[in-house]
A and B are shown apart, each in its own frame.
Chain A
């Protein structure tokens, strides 16, 4: 993997995304969602996307709008249904978007496996449930287990707190969630960060995602998209997305 590129805008960092690409989008709800990179994806125009993300958008956030505008052919996620997931709900009910529902731990491990070069693994999670129907299973050490395949992606979009000059990343609190494993699982990984610091400024002991996994970084100091309040569902992510209305 070649050296990390530092881009001047989210769109430049995103680069070319082909129609039909598989795109991993980090975040657990708004926490850790790379909102500006998803806005760039809206702007960039790729369609027929397979999106791998824990949720399927909240309110008018950029992921929800990607779905609303018919750019997503399939969602791979664990928890699409939210009180404010109306764009996904409508697209799912109309058949416009296909859903592969995956238990959250299996989703995480399938992503991790891809990054680690593991083709598939057996896990007890889901055995005997509707989500294991049609899947190969085997009894291992006395426990029934389900075969789950790795999930690879063409592009991963993640949000970290800081990057250094070689693309090492550190995250902030529970916003870390899917970032490290998605960055490793995609052929091309793009990180938006609050701050880029010089090489040597991050404690090597504290680096969470080594720069080898990171292809492009964009510094977005004025990130307003993750502001939440204790009022459920309130988020200014919608304001960011609303700004892209003319683009799609």
Chain B
């Protein structure tokens, strides 16, 4: 929490503050996969001295930031097919090895975006369920299920104001019971077999969150309501 001052905690987090909050929970020396979209912002808040190694599922460990203009290498891209760079200590491997790394539980933390997360840790982040949509899943299901710890980073509400932390996901699932923590602009939650617990709030209260989400939320660890 060192990245956030007290004032910030009295109001909802910006995207950058949320990324800093997620980054603050990642241990030095971890192997980390950041999902496409919002989670990519977390990379900006990982200290270079932390020894954290980024994995990109298209076949690389030790991924660095975007290249300078003019230094783009078409053979060096991330999972979103955007150009990236390699850091000292980087390694390349084929797709089966890359996913063995993920599916075999060798990646410490995976940060994913989500459409919906359930209080029991089910994740829906690959399909909006629209009947005419061309489906695409990529590595979402492998990432969700394979990492040692899968956390979600998202806005708590949709653009239309609908809760994204829900009793039960209504969108097609990516994985069952795979998420352990959910970082949002309004609060951090732990989710799992015992339901959702509020870890921390940003500019709101436990009671307000329960009303907003229409959920019964457990107290923060070590605290009673």
Using CB atoms and an 8 Å cutoff, list the residues of chain A in contact with chain B: 28-32, 54, 78-81, 85, 88-89, 92-93, 99, 101-109, 111-112, 123-131, 144, 171-181, 208, 226-230, 232
A-B contact pairs, 16 of them (CB 8 A): A31-B74, A78-B137, A81-B136, A88-B134, A101-B135, A102-B137, A103-B140, A103-B142, A104-B95, A106-B141, A129-B141, A173-B76, A174-B59, A174-B76, A177-B59, A232-B82
B185 within 8 A of A: no
Contacts of A109 in B (CB 8 A): 96, 99-100, 103
With A105-B99, A173-B60 known as contacts, the answer to whether A79 contacts B175 (CB < 8 A) is no
State whether B75 touches A172 (Cβ < 8 A): yes
B208 within 8 A of A: no
Which residues of chain B are within 8 angstroms of A79 by Cβ–Cβ distance? 136-138
Chain B, range 82-126, C-beta contacts under 8 Å to A: 82-83, 86, 92-96, 98-100, 102-103, 122
How far does the alpha carbon of A111 sit from the alpha carbon of B103 in the complex, in Å? 15
| Residues in A neighbouring B174, C-beta threshold 8 A | 129
15 further interface pairs, Cβ-Cβ under 8 Å (given A28-B77, A112-B96, A174-B56): A78-B137, A104-B99, A104-B138, A127-B145, A128-B173, A128-B176, A130-B127, A131-B141, A174-B76, A176-B94, A178-B95, A179-B94, A181-B94, A181-B95, A230-B83
User: B interface vs A, CB < 8 Å?
Assistant: 56-60, 66-67, 69, 72-78, 81-83, 86, 92-96, 98-100, 102-103, 122, 127, 132-142, 145-146, 172-176
Asked if residues B138 and A78 are in contact (CB atoms below 8 Å), the reply is: yes
- Docked pose: A59 CA to B123 CA in angstroms: 31
B175: which A residues are within 8 A, CB to CB? 127-129
Residues of B within 8 A of A178 (CB): 94-95
Chain A residue with minimal CB distance to B94? A180
Is B73's CB under 8 angstroms from A78's CB? Answer: no
Q: For the complex, what is the distance from the CA of A126 to the CA of B73, rounded to whole Å? A: 33
The majority secondary structure among interface residues of chain B is: loop
Given A28-B58, A172-B75, A174-B56, also A78-B83 (CB < 8 A):
no
Query: Are B172 and A93 neighbours in the complex by a CB distance under 8 Å?
Result: no
Minimum distance in angstroms from A55 CB to a CB of chain B: 9
Selected contact of B141 from candidates A85, A126, A173, A175, CB within 8 Å: A126
Q: Is the CB of B74 within 8 A of A227?
A: yes
Cα–Cα, bound, A230→B65 (Å): 13
Among B67, B127, B142, which residue has its beta carbon within 8 angstroms of that of A125? B142
In the complex, are the beta carbons of B59 and A105 less than 8 A apart?
no
Which of A80, A124, A129 is packed against the most chain B CB atoms within 10 Å? A129
Contact A228 B95 (CB under 8 A): no
B58/A174 in contact, CB under 8 A: yes
Given A111-B96, A181-B94, A104 and B103 contact (CB-CB distance below 8 Å):
no
